[in-house]
Amino acid sequence: MGAAWTAVWDSPRPHVHPLRTLGGRLLTVDAPADHPWHHGLWSTIKFVNSENFWETYGEYGTLVTTDVAKADGRVEASIDWVAPGGEAIAVHETRELRTIEFGDHYAIDWTFALRPTVDTEFDRTPFTTWGGYGGLTLRGAPDWTDTALVLPDGTPRDRVLGEPAPWCALRSDAATIVIMDDPANVRFPTPWYGSNRAETYGEGWANFVNAAFLWDEPLRVRAGDTLRRRHRVVVADGAMPTDRIAEDFAAWSP
């Protein structure tokens, strides 16, 4: 199963790429020219006490991996969020990735726990024509064509702009990725931000999906407290039916 996805722990943004289906189809892109700070499947926050931990130009914070432990299909990493300037640690993160096999498809359980070192406001750029993002994010391969975004109502969409739902799928006849939101997560069900095509992503298919839990407003966390979020990322060959996704979500969620 390890051949289906690869975790990269390098600074400035630890991520998963490549991410493939069991049939071998590549579904992610790393550092595309239009948004080189996009990295396959990754998680970060736009602003931590007003300092940028999303883009990687100008002054920006970095996520520095200090330890990685692997065992039985699970990877746990310790990551320090280092503020611009390279000295102060803004957040200590524990990130766990766990693989679950289902025979015809698989999933990655992605959990991140953020413990700020001072009283902290996690924030986003408010949405106008773009914005609202932060948290677990997918940037799909541009040659993964004819995709649609699908929420539990089953309606195919080109964009999702802040609609709350327990899961969001990016689906085509060739492959499906579903990002599920744990009901125990703060602000469940999360608002979703996504686009299969948009001018800001240049040529090809954007295939961008974000579990945008900061969409409506920032979140404040006291020093030493923990912000924990858990998601399941389901990866399948072919178009996974909406009712099958709903069954998988019901079996996974508490």
Q: Which residues contact 243 (CB under 8 A, 6 or more apart)?
A: none
Sheet holding 41-44, edge to edge: 5-8, 15-19, 41-44, 135-139, 208-211, 191-195, 159-164
The burial class, CB within 10 Å (0-12 / 13-18 / 19+), for 85 is: exposed
pLDDT in tens, 53-62: 999 999 999 9
**Is 254 a residue whose pLDDT tops 80?**
no
Structural domain boundaries of the chain? 2-252
Cis peptide before 152 (omega within 30 of 0): no
For 32-55, write each residue's pLDDT tens digit. Answer: 999 999 999 999 999 999 999 999
pLDDT digits (tens, 9 = 90+) for 134-187: 999 999 999 999 999 999 999 999 999 999 999 999 999 999 999 999 999 999
pLDDT digits (tens, 9 = 90+) for 61-72: 999 999 999 988
Q: What would the CATH number be for the domain defined by 2-252?
A: 2.70.98
pTM, two decimal places: 0.97
Strand partners, 64: 80
**CA dihedral (248, 233, 139, 151) positive or negative:** positive
